[in-house]
Structure 1
Amino acid sequence: MIEFLSQKMMYFLIENNAIKKEEIEIYNYTFETVIAFLINIIFILLIGWIMNRFICTILFLVFYCPIRQFSGGYHAENYKSCLLTFVAIYILNYVILENFFINKNSILFLLITIISFIRVYKKSPFEHREHSLSMNQRKKYKQIVFLGLTLDLIISIIGIHFKSIYVYSIYILSVINIIYLMIILGSIKQKITEKSQKFI
């Protein structure tokens, strides 16, 4: 579906002389990435709405997406797997927050998040072999991740002291743990790939 929509958009631009034929691959990749991103966002927002946590979900995405872009971590093999993984992780996050941390165990959750903060900072940017970064890029990405995590943490710590925004703050705080989970999954995937390549 994503590939189909991307090709339709691309050929529309070609027919209208907006892009050249030699630029097809670049535009096709860009369109596919944007469409996949929008589909993921729409699905997560829909889940947030169904679970009566729409504003929490918006805030989660506002903090999650920019940090995740620079922190790296697990990436699925295709767009469908990416969507299913993200949906599954967000639902898991919802279940854990609602059953164990909303209006209880706030100090424990904060301690877990601080540990995740430290681990994400140490491990980021977690990159794939095919997308290796230069030393300058790594330093820049690490700085961006640190700033994003720090902003997330400060806003959340302040917010949990106010009843009116407490739940929002817990969801924002959960971003750090989910990003750490993505790095753990990325590391596991990398080790499995390395082991399988040894037997080839």
Structure 2
Amino acid sequence: MLRQFASYWTRCMILKGIINQEKELIYIYGLELFFSTLSSVLSMILISLITNKFLYGILFLFVTVPLKMTANGYHAKTFLKCFLLTNIIFIIYICLISLYPLIHMGYLQVILFIAAIIYIYIKAPVEHPKHKLSKQKREKNRLSAHIILAIDCLAVLVLIINEQQKAAYSFGIAIIIAACIMIIKNKEE
């Protein structure tokens, strides 16, 4: 269905002279990716609103989307699998946030958080076997992932200093999840 929707919009742009016929497949793929990402983001925002965890949902997106764009990670074989997996991971995150004071992991979370930071720092970016990055793009993504990771760590530190433990906890969980997604991708190869 997503492919049909993207094809329809691409044909409309071709008929209106906005794009060339030769680039039809590129635009179809790009629109599929755009609509898939948009539907995942909207569903996560909806889940956040329904569970009364809107701020934490935005925080999850703030942490994981930039890391996913630069450090990469697991890629599902279809857009539907990607949508479902993304939402399952997000629901797990929301459950962990909802149970915060009960399952505050203390030292275990600190250890996992530090391990996640080290893993992302060393392994970023994880490349998809079908979409190898040029050396220049790999280095650019690596630097970007390191900068984003540093900003995320600084945010956690600021939250802890300002006694915003639940927000710091949620940031940490999101970074751990991002690292786990990268680990899954590495194990897949």
Normalising by structure 1, we get a TM-score of 0.86
User: Which range moved further: 36-45 or 128-137?
Assistant: 128-137
Q: 2:174 maps to which residue?
A: 175
Decide whether the 8 Å contact of 1:40 with 1:86 is kept in 2: yes
Alpha-carbon distance in 2 for matches of 1:122, 1:84? 28
Unaligned runs of 5+ residues in structure 2 are none
Alpha-carbon distance in 2 for matches of 1:175, 1:104? 14
Decide whether the 8 Å contact of 1:160 with 1:167 is kept in 2: no
Decide whether the 8 Å contact of 1:160 with 1:170 is kept in 2: no
Secondary structure, aligned partner of 1:126: coil
Deviation, 1:115, is 1.1
Equivalent pairs counted in the alignment come to: 189
User: Which range moved further: 170-179 or 113-122?
Assistant: 170-179
Alpha-carbon distance in 2 for matches of 1:102, 1:74? 30
Q: 1:123 maps to which residue?
A: 123
The residue identity in structure 2 corresponding to 1:18 is: I
The residue identity in structure 2 corresponding to 1:149 is: L
What value does the CA root-mean-square deviation take over the aligned residues?
Answer: 1.9
The residue identity in structure 2 corresponding to 1:110 is: V
Q: 2:132 maps to which residue?
A: 132
The residue identity in structure 1 corresponding to 2:38 is: L
Within a 5 Å distance, the mapping from 1:11-90 to structure 2 comes to: 11-90=11-90
Alpha-carbon distance in 1 for matches of 2:56, 2:142? 26
Alpha-carbon distance in 2 for matches of 1:92, 1:145? 24
User: Which range moved further: 142-151 or 181-190?
Assistant: 181-190
Task: Provide Cα deviations, 1:59-111, integer angstroms capped at 9, x if missing partner.
Answer: 21022111111111110000000011111111112223433567834454233
Secondary structure, aligned partner of 1:131: coil
Decide whether the 8 Å contact of 2:63 with 2:175 is kept in 1: no
Decide whether the 8 Å contact of 2:70 with 2:125 is kept in 1: yes
Q: 1:189 maps to which residue?
A: 188
The residue identity in structure 1 corresponding to 2:175 is: I
Q: 1:113 maps to which residue?
A: 113
The residue identity in structure 2 corresponding to 1:69 is: M
Unaligned runs of 5+ residues in structure 1 are 191-200
Deviation, 1:112, is 1.6
Alpha-carbon distance in 1 for matches of 2:96, 2:176? 12
Alpha-carbon distance in 1 for matches of 2:110, 2:53? 21
Decide whether the 8 Å contact of 1:113 with 1:177 is kept in 2: yes
Decide whether the 8 Å contact of 1:152 with 1:172 is kept in 2: yes
Decide whether the 8 Å contact of 1:36 with 1:79 is kept in 2: yes
Normalising by structure 2, we get a TM-score of 0.91
Secondary structure, aligned partner of 1:52: coil
Alpha-carbon distance in 2 for matches of 1:154, 1:103? 24
Q: 1:156 maps to which residue?
A: 156
